[in-house]
Amino acid sequence: MSATGRPPQNGARWTALACAGVVAGMTGLAFASVPLYNMFCKATGYDGTPRTGAAPTASADATSKPLRVHFDTNVAPTLTWRFQPEVTSVDAVPGETKTVFFKVTNTGSKPATGIAAFNVQPGLMGSYFVKVECFCFSEHTLQPGESADYPLVFYVDQGLRKDPDIGDLGEMTLSYTYFPSRNGTPVAAADGKKGG
């Protein structure tokens, strides 16, 4: 306190500015956390998120045990689409590039826009599943009755067979779900019902 018995004004201003700065910083981090987490998951394969990358430069090891990759497709209840893979599974030798097509049809009476999200199970395999080309996270608009075929080009990293936790597993599942979307973002179910 000063000689007059009142607290100094500079200290109060500094405290108020510091608190405002902390609040602003935490708000910014809250908004940035989801995109940063998604980037981290895509880069590392954390939480069953497949990696993205170029086709492998080394040829597949023909002596390596193949892995059966299953494909699971789902559509949110508010999207009038039918969505299915051309095959329900493929056998992939680690390091071998594979291509699978997925067919999407708008069964509704008006145009609809959707976006696909995905994950890999078991989650630990996500870091070994590498997408070279994928339709996920891209908006697609289909007219009533229109169908489209979208490719998935991928490979399983050869390092999988050296992983002591999951190297001996013989199967994995890539699961896709199509959601209604707006401006490149999935629309929440309640929001989708309002939009009709």
The pLDDT value given to residue 187: 80
Find out whether 66 and 92 touch, Cβ atoms under 8 Å.
Answer: yes
Per CATH, domain 48-195 is 2.20.25.650 = no
- pTM for the structure as a whole: 0.67
Q: What is the pLDDT of residue 14?
A: 76
Per-residue pLDDT of 160-187, as tens digits, reads 999 999 999 999 999 999 999 988 787 8
167: left (phi over 0), alpha (psi -120 to 50) or beta: alpha
**Three-class SS of residue 91?**
strand
pLDDT at residue 97 greater than cutoff 60: yes
Between β-strands 89-92 and 140-142, what pairing exists: parallel, antiparallel or unpaired?
unpaired
Tens of pLDDT, residues 13-65 = 777 777 666 655 555 544 443 444 444 445 544 444 555 555 555 565 666 78
What pLDDT, on the 0 to 100 scale, is given for residue 162?
Answer: 92
Can you give the pLDDT at residue 11? 72
Sheet holding 147-156, edge to edge: 51-52, 129-133, 147-156, 98-106, 81-85
**pLDDT, mean of residues 53-79:** 79
- In the chain, beta strands by DSSP E: 51-52, 67-75, 81-85, 89-92, 98-106, 112-121, 129-133, 140-142, 147-156, 171-182, 185-186
Task: Identify the DSSP state of 12.
Answer: H
Q: Average pLDDT of the chain?
A: 79
Say yes or no to pLDDT of 7 above 60. no
How far apart (Å, rounded) are the C-alpha atoms in residues 57 and 126? 20
Write out pLDDT tens, residues 105-144.
999 999 999 999 998 999 999 999 999 999 988 899 999 9
Domain ranges in the chain are 48-195
pLDDT of residue 13: 77
Question: Where is average pLDDT lowest: 56-65, 94-103, 149-158?
Answer: 56-65
